[in-house]
Chain A
Amino acid sequence: MAKGPLIEIRDLKKRYTVLHNRPYSFKDAMVRKLTRRTVERETFWALKGVSLTVQPGDTVGIIGPNGSGKSTMLGIIARILRPTEGTVEVRGRVSVLMEAGVGFHEDLTGIENIYLSGALLGLTRRQIAARVDSIVEFADLHGFADTPVRMLSSGMYVRLGFAVAVHLEPNILLVDEVLAVGDEEFHHKCRQRLREFCREGGAVVFVSHRMPEVKWLCQRTLWLENGLVHREGPTPEVVAAYVAAHQPDEPNWDIEEPPG
């Protein structure tokens, strides 16, 4: 097992440049150049100095209102987005589980996507072949393994995504609002698997609006507000404070439309 923290982030800042009415076509871009109309450029800081250390076996929740920088944070840990300032060190293989799927190619079948995901994470064909059966088994695909994934039901899609993410032996698992779909039985299986994963020294970073899920899974929680850490600490305290601040008299605060 790796020594030292799996994730070490110091004073992370991320700036996005938003181009209002940016030209989406080459033709537009040329016309603009000729007519000397400029694109309005606006920059905003999604993260304004966030630090986080995650040790093997840790489960960390990230909560905060929309636009507070949660997803950006996850994108940076996943090495998908580039930090603007600050240092980010991530050790080991990272699996990302966002809304629907781990990044499937819609035209490919379940099996093909398993191979593709494995190859994207840097596994060899043989390593993936050894895991295919357990993935299909875990996702409960029942003869749909050779169907293009765009034809799968949303439940199957998410199950397959979860199965792929946890079976490709990542060191870090990033989860963004996914456990919302699927039935109770599958949720149970996921929880079991996540616990096992942490016991074996993996780390989970979990982004959610659903406080019960955060409370159930995460030891520690980071509350982001406007790109800054508003509060960090043991989950029950942080969640209680968050609920008091954001949803004081909202009894159904954890019910929302599933994404998609």
Chain B
Amino acid sequence: MQINCRSCGKANEFLLPLWVRTTFKFNDDGSLSILHVKPLESLEEKLTDNHVHNELVCKSCSSNDVEIIFNEYEESDKTNRELAALEGL
């Protein structure tokens, strides 16, 4: 899997918002302490969802114009298959 930023061309660091359920308690001084955090969304499912394109942003330039390539070897596989087919002929 590969993610590319079309704006700055970098392909290594991206930010994605996720909803979590937080269990917390009120301390005696009025501050809050976090007891437990449970993810409400699966990051893998969110990535494969088409709507994630608007939410996924590049960490370097904050652009959300990103391209997700699920199988970056697909193109070379296709070329190899075509070469094999030509050789077979």
The answer to whether A and B assemble together is no
